[in-house]
Chains A and B, each alone.
Chain A
Amino acid sequence: MAEPLIEARDLRLALPDLNARPLFGAAPRVEILKGLSFDVARGRVLGIVGESGSGKSTLGRCLVRLLEPTGGTLRFDGDDITHADTRALKRHRRDLQMIFQDPMSSLNPRHSVLRLVEAPMRLYGVANAEDRAREVLERVQLGGAFARRYPHQLSGGQRQRVGIARALALSPRFILADEIVSGLDVSTQAQIIRLLERLVDEMDLTLAFISHDLSVIRRLCHEVIVLRAGEIVEAGPTAEVFAAPKHPYTAELKAAIPLPDPDAGWLSQP
């Protein structure tokens, strides 16, 4: 099998503890990621699932190098980017894109939809940036008049589409999606997931998809890693993990999901 696009080995991250601020000396550090090893294979979708405090968003920000890991190695396409500085990263930036959880905060309120999607292409001097941007917007079903609108004039689902279009603009080789449907209504969530699914198929994207919702992960992802308190408790092909969870925590997570079938006994199950 070909070399994976992203290779994480014993990845660690410790941040200064903001709650404990001693009078003298450096603040003690808390380990948020405790030695994670996994791969993201080319053309595959990796699900990263966990509850709050599991470190899943922090891990995401390390993968696109918004944060610098404090230990282990992170390889992208064979290159060690664990501690790469801004200059060294520059080469890879256009290949490592991200879709944010909260589009209201991740879309600059003063820029139009077109400008938001165009900006990355202009930065890299892509020819016909405007036409290309309109094309990408078309792909996320925001054609025509949407280009001229501003984020506050859009619905939550539409904003998230803009976020997706912006991430697609540079035709990156890797996209990180961080809880991108958690703030949306179920009907909108269904549309966004369907859209993402189609894009993955059509454009052969490599994706890491962070979510707290096992059901969504099950639908979208080929492989999954289950995170708890900064450690991987289980990893493997999604179908297998769901069919027969090896770790009790995975089983507990799965059992806690209320499926939309009436079942009075569910509450009293252990």
Chain B
Amino acid sequence: MSALLRIEGLNVSVGRGGPRLLRDVSLSVAAGETHGLVGESGAGKSMIGKAIAGVLPRGIAVRSGRILFDGQDLTALPRRARRRLVGERIAIIPQDPLTALNPCRRIGGQITDRLVHILGWDAGRARARAAELLDEVAIREPGRVMQAYPHEVSGGMRQRVLIAAAFAAEPALIIADEPTTALDVTVQRQVLRLIGELQARHGTALLFVTHDMGVVAKLCRSLSVLYAGKVVDQGPAARIFGPDPHPYARALIAATPRYDRPEESLMPVPEAVIAALDAEVAAADRDWTDG
């Protein structure tokens, strides 16, 4: 089966010759599959999603490697063509529902944006589609919500709106960047369930970025564990959470608190594990020259 998304040897750095934020990252996601990206802060997990969508912050750029989406190398496409392709086929669900909706625009327009301006739908059809989607994410009065401004609806509702907006154009891939980190656990569960349902129904591939080993375990069949911009472990969840994880992945799992086995959780990451990783990273950096 050919992958929908395949990343090969991706290097991202601050400025030319500056520090690397991603180090030779490779991964692939098949159509309809869910892949998890886990790591602690600074591991570069969000950077991968930003590199795919082409929204890296100023001054940070892809230095080498390929991002193959449906067989096309995104990094080699002209800027306009790339924007169009990403606009049509890839969507993002961001972390913070508070800052992810433009406070000055009505919600409806923010859902239909992509349909009207990128796909060229007429306004009526786009609005009908938006209403349909809001209905799908269990928002009861789609008409009223579309007329509302973001501050007029609750936080949980805003996150649903963002999910609806992400699925609006039937993208092939959705990048979810810590979409539940700001939420309470009970709400988190509803939102995860919603994403899962929509994903199954629409056959969308999902790249799920999170720091929470628990969430990955429940949501993803396969995952990549990152440390300092480097993939240290990659494979099926059944292996990594089961018999044969990389020592760092094992340590992250053991550090996660769990109410069912309190004495075996919250284990600090052994210093030897970190030291070994740091040595690996340093060795890789010695060999790397800015292409």
Contacts and interface: CB of A to CB of B under 8 A. Distances in A.
Direct contact of A and B (CB under 8 A): yes
Interface of A: 51-52, 185-187, 189-191, 193-194, 212-216, 218-219, 242, 252-254, 256-264, 266-268
A182 to B, nearest CB: 11
Contact of A218 (B41, B213, B259): B259
A267 B265 contact: no
B267 A190 contact: yes
B196 interface: yes
Contacts of B196: 267
A262 B241 contact: yes
B255 A187 contact: yes
Interface string B188-225: 11001100100000000000000111111111000000
Interface in B208-263: 211-219, 237-238, 241-242, 251-253, 255-260, 262-263
11 contacts: A51-B186, A185-B211, A191-B268, A216-B266, A218-B257, A252-B186, A253-B186, A258-B189, A259-B258, A262-B241, A268-B193
Given A213-B257, A267-B219, A260 B269 contact: no
B76 interface: no
A222 to B, nearest CB: 12
B214 A256 contact: no
Interface range on chain B: under 10, 10 to 19, 20 to 34, or 35 or more?
35 or more
A186 B255 contact: yes
Nearest to A249: B186
A258 B268 contact: no
Nearest to A258: B214
What 6 pairs between A and B have smallest CB-CB spacing? A258-B214, A215-B257, A51-B184, A185-B40, A218-B259, A256-B185
Given A186-B256, A189-B255, A194 B218 contact: no
Given A190-B267, A213-B257, A216-B257, A258 B212 contact: yes
B237 A262 contact: yes
Contacts of A242: 259
A261 B266 contact: no
Contacts of A268: 193
